[in-house]
Amino acid sequence: MPKLRVAMIAPPWLKIPPEGYGGVESVIDGLVKGLMENDVEVEIFGVGKKSLHGAKVHPVTPHEEFENILKPMYDYALPTPCAHLLKSLKMIAEDGAFDIIHDHNYFVGPAVLSYAAGHGGLPPAVHTIHGPQLTSEKMIKEGVFDNRNYWKSLQGEHGCYLVPISDAMRSEMPSELKGTLLATVHNAIDAQSFPFVGREGKKNYFITLARFTEDKGQHIAAKICARKGYRLRMAGTVATITSQRKLMFEVANPLSRYRSDADFKYYSDKILPYVLRSPKITFSGSVGGKRKMKFISEAKALLFPITWNEPFGMAVIEALACGTPVIAMNHGAMPEIIEHGVNGFLADTEAQFAEYMERVSEIDPENCRRSVEKKFSDTRMARNYLARYQQVIKKSRRLKG
């Protein structure tokens, strides 16, 4: 019996595995590993030529385009993924022997594949909805663009099927997508690649690990730590800035091109005052490799004070894999990942969040690690996607037949 052939279309922004921040890229890394272990033939259409777990990599986009991800869509942010996707599809059609496409490109992927998949030499497709979430009425009142019409436009019978990354995300999707929305597949990691550190190895600091933006709520963590005198080390990108030196230069520059960026403004207005006020609160930049592993595994806890319905949260399962408890606001997918009082705490208010920070020693690091091995392993994720692939292939055959 011939092997199942999967064309994996990664985003054009970062290489895989990512050196620092890169949630989607980390998921693809684990998924490819899990699929290869299940005797699936995977070819990646991504950035650069670096081999990944023995899978063939097509360098559709020669270099990382992350610096352009936040630029105006008509300059870079839209043309870049469009060109990346169209080049990938041309190569896949010319090959003509793939069984399924697995796409990871926000918005652009489903828009094109809802018409192209299953036609012109292309196989059917699965698109993982990594984000952003479906716009809520509350978000619209706050000035956020309403993206619901986009998702509704994908209704109907076609060759592209959607996979949400949490039940929280799935519950928010429009009912019109009933025919194309598949069951949830949680994101995952290879827990064995993360160093486990028990209670005796933990050090006296908390961490945040996320892109700096209002939704992630790092200001809540900074405010609590400043008030209580806790040590807080914050890692992540500010806009596209990855280093402390670069960030300080741009903050001090009144003519910085980042001044109009909402995430940069969030950091300078709501985070920087606490950094300047307390020497115990520091910005660590974008951490990767061994530095990231040490940063996470030795922390007392990961603080995840999100203010929105986070669709998943890769940093959360990475911390848990290291035996590091997580304290999170009870939004989005957090109840699907965190078992309150077992591998972390779920808070409904800032006051509760601060209280749980004082109780973090109650959490056994062994329970944190086990929760990832049980529910969020790359092997389990790969098997779930294999089931979705087979489901879509059968659906596609019925539509053609």
Q: Within the chain, what is the greatest distance between any pair of CA atoms?
A: 68
- What is the mean pLDDT of the segment spanning 372-381? 96
The pLDDT score that the predictor gives to residue 65 is: 82
Alpha-carbon torsion, ordered 6, 14, 129, 116, to 10 deg: -50
Under a CB-based contact definition with an 8 Å cutoff, are residues 188 and 378 in contact?
yes
Q: How far apart are CA 163 and CA 126, in angstroms?
A: 7
The pLDDT tens digits of the residues spanning 198-222 come to 999 999 999 999 999 999 999 999 9
Residues paired with 344 in a beta bridge? 326, 340
Q: What is the reported pTM?
A: 0.91
Burial pattern 79-95, b for ≥16 Cβ within 10 A else e, equals ebbbebbebbbebbbee
Burial pattern 342-375, b for ≥16 Cβ within 10 A else e, equals ebbbbbeeeeebbebbeebeebebebbbbbbeeb
Residue found by looking up tokens 């030795």 in the block? 298
Q: Record the tokens describing residue 88, joined without a space.
A: 């990938």
Q: Record the tokens describing residue 194, joined without a space.
A: 């993360």
Q: How far apart are CA 358 and CA 338, in angstroms?
A: 18
User: For all residues of the chain together, what is the average pLDDT?
Assistant: 92
Of 66-70, 165-169, 193-197, 357-361, give the lowest mean pLDDT range: 66-70
- What is the mean pLDDT of the segment spanning 163-170? 95
Q: How many residues does the chain have?
A: 401
Under a CB-based contact definition with an 8 Å cutoff, are residues 334 and 316 in contact?
yes
Residues paired with 347 in a beta bridge? 329
The pLDDT score that the predictor gives to residue 388 is: 98
DSSP 201: G
Bridge-based pairing of strands 232-235 and 206-209 is parallel
Phi, psi of 107 (to 5 degrees): 60, -55
Q: How far is CA 253 from CA 77, 138, 148, 269, 384, in A?
A: 25, 35, 38, 14, 49
Give the 3-state secondary structure of residue 194.
Answer: coil
Q: How many CB atoms lie within 10 A of CB 328?
A: 27
Of 93, 168, 94, 99, the closest CA to residue 136 belongs to: 168
Neighbouring C-alpha atoms within 13 Å toward the C-beta of 77: 8
- Would you place residue 401 in the very low, low, confident or very high pLDDT band (cuts 50, 70, 90)? low
Strands of 232-235's sheet in order across: 281-285, 232-235, 206-209, 301-304, 326-329, 344-347
Of the chain, the percentage scoring pLDDT greater than 70 comes to 98
Whether 49 shows a pLDDT value over 90: the answer reads no
As to burial, measured by CB atoms within 10 angstroms (0-12 exposed, 13-18 middle, 19+ buried), residue 206 is buried
What DSSP string describes 149-162?
A: HHHHTT-SS-SEEE
- Would you place residue 22 in the very low, low, confident or very high pLDDT band (cuts 50, 70, 90)? low
The pLDDT score that the predictor gives to residue 20 is: 62
Q: How far apart are CA 302 and CA 292, in angstroms?
A: 13
The pLDDT score that the predictor gives to residue 21 is: 60
The pLDDT tens digits of the residues spanning 217-251 come to 999 999 999 999 999 999 999 998 999 999 999 99
The pLDDT tens digits of the residues spanning 241-289 come to 999 999 999 999 999 999 999 999 999 999 999 999 999 999 999 998 8
